[in-house]
Amino acid sequence: MNNDILPRWAREIERFLSVKSQFVLWGNVYDVYPMESGQGVITLRLIDFLKTLLKRSNFNIVVNYEPINGFKLIEGDPAGFNSFTEYSLDKDKSLKCTLGKAFEVIERLVASRQEYSAVILNMASRLGELSGNDVQEFYYRLFSLSHGAAAVMNNKSPFPQFNAIFWILDKENDLPAWYTLENARLKVISIPKPDYQLRKIVVENLSRKIHGFNALDDKKRDEGMSLFIDETNGLHASEIISIVSMAMRDEVSFSNISDAIRMYKLGIIENPWAKLDVTKIANAEEILSRRVKGQDHAVRNAADILKRAVYNLAGAQYSKFSQRPKGVLFLAGPTGVGKTELAKALAELIFGSETGYVRFDMSEYAQEHSDQRLIGSPPGYVGYDVGGQLTNAIKQNPFAVILFDEIEKAHSKILDVFLQILDDGRLTSGRGETVYFSESLIVFTSNLGLYEVAPGGEKIQRVTQEMVFEEINEKILQAIGDFFKYRIGRPEILNRIGDNIVVFDFIRPDTASRILAKMLGNVKEKLLDTYGITLELTEEGEKVLSGICCTDLSMGGRGIANKLEAALVNPLSRTLFSSGAKSGDKLVLTDIVKENQTWKLVTQKQ
């Protein structure tokens, strides 16, 4: 057998069979593992893998034990099992028994001198879930057995070795701590997920089954396999086999193996990014400007990132196999200037509606433990079975624009979550599930740089509407840098965002007029489409409304919307009731006046 094929942990078992009486295998115990056979490399589940591994180390009796099902002879002669244990097996080579009886069987197998015997305690983590004193007695007796066992020498092996017991656990601490602590007869071995070398073995042996593999030249095959190996980083070997099965079933060519990998990871066959209208993306700047007014610099940057995302070039400078998010935007600037609106506009442009837009208000994550709300509580804690808000949202819809609003208000510990997202494009939930961000667009917003806190605690405005944009841009960028580098000491976050920080300008008077016109148009369309009533404003009426809504722009577009609601929408609703307006009528607004702190419309019905 070729040792180069064997996982490191398997070679470690072989090396320690002569000096350890019990082995604890934990971690990735439900996967499949490569092993060489007469037909080439095959993959086996852990019990069959151990059986084959032990057989080549001269173990002629291998028994699998499960807490509920009892014993199953998986290697050896039933007559030999009977002679060692004095118990007879059923026709299917099984033996059901209590824990007390199970220990007797194990003890007699371990005491065997004629043949090397091994007992695999499969699903041993479930023992701790059984009630009664029998479980604790079972632990104590096997602990004593580990120290009382002696190495056996027979004519089957050139050196003595133990009749071994293998504990198969989900986690190392599923055994009582006293059992493993300073136990010199026990070897604890972690079984990790497949590393690059093991994935390479599996991929090289399975790739030839995929449609189109044999038609490629050697260079293309090697490039395709390298891509396959890299993009399955973090997956189990059994999952790689599933990807190959899906590719074969759906006739995905080897040249497009990334589609099969994405299909497996995301569980979605349709890829909205692949269906984007190229003409719309080419005109992205113009389309986004229809919703985001007066922020040409921000819209241009967003359009560039979107075009880069369509060709999947995000992170391409680091690796052509990059699985980073499609793009990252950090939008900074005053309130009400269009930061959130730009995220919504991107979602609508990419996915056809705002349903692909997911927002997280980071002011709700100001506590240190708030990261558990995003990724879910760890096992044993309240809410573990619910999962995390972020991981659940992306699991349900991996194709999304994800907005993290007012990121500076989140606890600094939360930023560790974003490091993993921005670097690896994936995140593991508290339940151990991996979700992928490789098809999403990440948007952060921030109000950093607008104010600074004086020693007395009062806020001092750093940027004002009187400043030119270049000065505003410089001050806000400096404040963002100071925040990440010095205030929270996390310059690595800033490094991951790179030059994708976009500063928004204040709403200027010319932009305010365009915003007001757009909002007013929405009101008119709503009234006409829903009720058939036409609303018109005279030149004087528009001038009065503009004076009310656009004089103070300190609150940006939201301020304009709030004033429009107070000065037009609310009194318009009263007027519609009092005038008895019906479908086909036209209301002409000539003036807006304020009486007793209440806005009133001067209208004519036609």
Give the tens place of pLDDT for each residue, 558-589.
889 999 999 999 999 998 888 888 888 898 98
Q: What are the tens digits of pLDDT across the range 516-566?
A: 999 999 999 999 998 898 999 999 999 999 999 998 888 888 889 999 999
Q: In angstroms, rounded to a whole number, what is the distance separating the alpha carbons of residues 413 and 368?
A: 6
If pLDDT is split at 50, 70 and 90, which confidence band does 52 have? very high
34's CB contacts (< 8 A; 6+ apart) are 5, 6, 7, 41, 42, 43, 198, 201, 202, 205, 237
More confident residue, 430 or 481: 481
CA distance 450 to 471: 12
Residue 21 pLDDT class (50, 70, 90 cuts)? very high
Q: Which residues contact 10 (CB under 8 A, 6 or more apart)?
A: 33, 49, 53
- Show the tokens assigned to 288: 């986004």
Using 50, 70 and 90 to split pLDDT, how confident is the model at 270? low
Q: Which fold has domain 278-503?
A: Rossmann fold (3.40.50)
Does pLDDT of 87 surpass 50?
yes
Distances (CA, A) of 442 to 329, 331, 361, 400, 534: 6, 11, 14, 9, 41
Is the overall model pTM greater than 0.85, yes or no? no
Q: Give per-residue pLDDT as tens, 58-85.
A: 899 999 999 888 999 999 999 989 988 8
Q: Are 110 and 102 in contact (CB under 8 A)?
A: no
pLDDT band at 13 (very low <50, low <70, confident <90, very high): very high
Angle at CA 195, nearest 5°, toward 190 and 201? 120
Q: Which token pair is 504? A: 């928004």
Report the share of the chain in percent with pLDDT over 70: 93
Domain ranges for the chain: 8-191, 196-267, 278-503, 509-605
Instruction: Please name the residue that has the structure tokens 């986690």.
Output: 171
pLDDT at 154 over 60: yes
In sequence order, what are the beta bridge partners of 36?
A: 41
Instruction: Please determine, for residue 317, whether its predicted confidence score (pLDDT) is greater than 50.
Output: no
Q: Which of the 8 DSSP states describes residue 401?
A: E
**What average pLDDT is seen over the chain?**
86
pLDDT classification of 383: cutoffs 50, 70, 90: low
* Structural contact between residues 415 and 456, judged by C-beta atoms closer than 8 angstroms: no
| CA dihedral over 331, 337, 341, 345, signed as positive or negative | negative
Helix spans in 397-460 (H): 415-424
Dist CA 276 CA 267 (whole Å): 20
Phi, psi dihedrals of residue 320, rounded to the nearest 5°: -70, -10
Residue 375 banded pLDDT, cuts 50, 70, 90: confident
Question: Tokens for 117?
Answer: 């015997």
Pair 185, 147: CB distance under 8 Å: yes
Residue 146 has pLDDT above 50, yes or no: yes
| More confident of the two residues 265 and 514 | 514
Rg over alpha carbons for the chain, rounded to the nearest Å, is 34
Which residues of 235-384 form beta strands (DSSP E)? 327-332, 357-361
Token couple for 578: 């009092």
Task: Identify the CA nearest to 188 among candidates 179, 197, 196.
Answer: 179
Q: What is the pLDDT of residue 93?
A: 94
How much is the pLDDT for 385? 58
Q: Give yes or no on whether 8-191 and 509-605 have one common fold.
A: no
Is pLDDT larger for residue 18 or for residue 3? 18
Structure confidence at residue 434 (pLDDT): 83
Q: Which residues of 159-184 are buried (b: 16+ CB within 10 A; e: fewer)?
A: eebbbbbbbbbeebebbeeebbeebe
- pLDDT for the residue 351: 81
3-state SS string over 287-315?
A: HHHCCCCCCHHHHHHHHHHHHHHHCCCCC
Looking at the domain that runs over 509-605, which CATH code has it been given? Answer: 1.10.8.60
313 has a pLDDT exceeding 70: no
- 449 Ramachandran zone, left/alpha/beta (phi>0; psi -120 to 50): left
Count other Cβ atoms within 10 Å, centred on residue 20. 23
pLDDT at 380 over 60: no
pLDDT at position 316 is: 46
- CATH number among 3.40.50, 1.10.150, 2.170.130, 3.60.21, domain 8-191: 3.40.50
The pLDDT score that the predictor gives to residue 319 is 46
pLDDT at 453 exceeding the cut of 80: no
Asked if residue 343 has pLDDT above 50, the reply is: yes
Whole-number Å distance between alpha carbons of 477 and 488: 16
Contact 50, 62 (CB under 8 A): yes
Lowest mean pLDDT among 83-97, 417-431, 482-496: 417-431
**Higher pLDDT residue, 512 or 155?**
512
Mean pLDDT of 467-475: 90
H helices of 313-414, where?
339-351, 371-375, 389-396
